[in-house]
Amino acid sequence: MPIEPLPLTARFMNTTTSAASLPPGTLGLPFIGETLAFLRDRNFARDRAARYGPIFKTHLLGRPTVFVCSEEGCRFVLANESKYFVVSWPPSTRKLLGSLSLALQTGGVHYQRRRILAQAFQPRALAGYIETMDAICCSFIERWLQVRSLAWYPELRQLTFDIACKLFVGMDSGSHNELGEQFELWCQGLFTLPLNFPWTRFGRARRNRDWLLQQLEEIIRKRQESDDPGDDALGLLVRSRDEDGSQLGLDELKDQVLLLLFAGHETLTSSLVSFCLLVGQHPDVRDRLLAELDRLPDDAPLTLESLQQLTYLEQVLQEVMRCIPPVGGGFRTVIQECELDGYRLPEGWGVIYQIAQLHMNPDRYPDPDRFDPDRFAPGSDNPSQTYSYAPFGGGLRECLGKEFARLEMKIVAVRVLQACDWTITPDQDLSLVVIPSPRPRDGLRVVMRDRRSAG
């Protein structure tokens, strides 16, 4: 969707002046700054924005960092990629993703690799994924209905990982073998202090990464030696050539595939569990969704066209990602000192544009804590057309797999709604753990009933 441009005003200067001061805030303790509070407190940004305003400084993961929580400020950061800002990640994330990962590449290399990977997310490719997504989803649902009582979050993690493994590297049931176990342990170290000791999460994740790369190397070498490397994401990468016409190296292929598995799994699981939580808490929304699904042809296979007709489901998913965005913000580094809203952003400092705070702006979203899918109704002043809505980031580095994620969310939502009634069990902690992506602390325990057999 196009995002309306916001003019750069005098408040957003491209160069600093001698009068510009640093943003308000505190740098916290020596070395660790406010890192522990950031990792543990879901309201870290909200509380400090209320105290200091929409732009404030802190110290995270080893360096001073500025939080940007306003719509105009986020637009400034995203519109000036490679001019004043460059993508950045915490040290633990950089080391675990790998230096050749698309997430860390910049400039022309990033652009060229992004064009290659984008082929795996074009409409024709997406249409070819539907049958696989649907089949894996339905197999999980049948098992859930047999079990009846379960913690849904870990189940959804297995579902999304199985889909990612099948569609990206051609592997069946990835979550049910050692690859899935090692991958989960690797994920746990992505946003931690980079203390490389055997007993730390980061230290364990470094070892898990080494094991994962060995397994991926075996898969990649088999594809490279095959006359037909396949049409999935790995096949595209194996056949691709860089700017001088040579094939991508083995080390880069491993880093890119590892990133694809992470991107097609972690944040997508978060959005799905948020959908199940919020719809389960709002039976009126569920009733409207079911009424819309009743208009789908009986037993007809899902298609891109039929899914596009589900306009209320689209509204619900947009509101889910507004209330609980799967990514809390984006990391950048200042590469040229500049001025934002009268504050100086020094070269070398970190910047985080804060998606969760954007989505709580009462000027764009009246009563922002209320779950209201009609905010995104057709014909309304749709906030998704502005920089006040950014669940997939924005600018040159907007999430490459956005349409893949939206497609999978719709398929899972449709099949769950058609087959399942679910009740969220009482006496559980539904507060959100937010690192690396939001999910209910107790895993969202539910009791399920097969609505197809209800008399």
pLDDT of the chain along its 455 residues, tens only? 333 333 343 344 444 445 679 999 999 888 888 988 887 887 899 999 999 999 999 998 788 999 999 999 999 999 998 899 999 888 899 999 999 999 888 888 888 888 888 888 889 889 999 999 999 999 999 999 999 999 999 999 999 999 999 999 889 988 888 998 999 999 999 888 788 898 999 999 999 999 999 999 999 999 999 888 887 888 888 888 767 777 788 999 999 999 999 988 889 999 999 999 999 999 999 999 999 999 887 678 999 999 999 999 999 999 999 999 998 888 999 999 999 999 999 999 999 999 988 999 898 899 999 999 999 998 767 777 778 899 998 888 888 889 999 999 999 999 999 999 999 999 999 999 887 889 999 999 999 999 987 65
pLDDT given for residue 7 in this prediction: 38
Annotated binding residue 399 = yes
Report the alpha-carbon angle 5-386-334, nearest 5: 70
Contact 373, 312 (CB under 8 A): yes
pLDDT given for residue 9 in this prediction: 38
pLDDT given for residue 385 in this prediction: 72
Within 8 A by CB and 6+ apart from 17, the residues are 339
pLDDT given for residue 186 in this prediction: 93
Distance of alpha carbon 125 from alpha carbon 118, whole angstroms: 10
Q: Which domains does the chain show, CATH number per domain?
A: 105-328+365-453 (1.10.630.10)
pLDDT given for residue 264 in this prediction: 84
pLDDT given for residue 6 in this prediction: 38
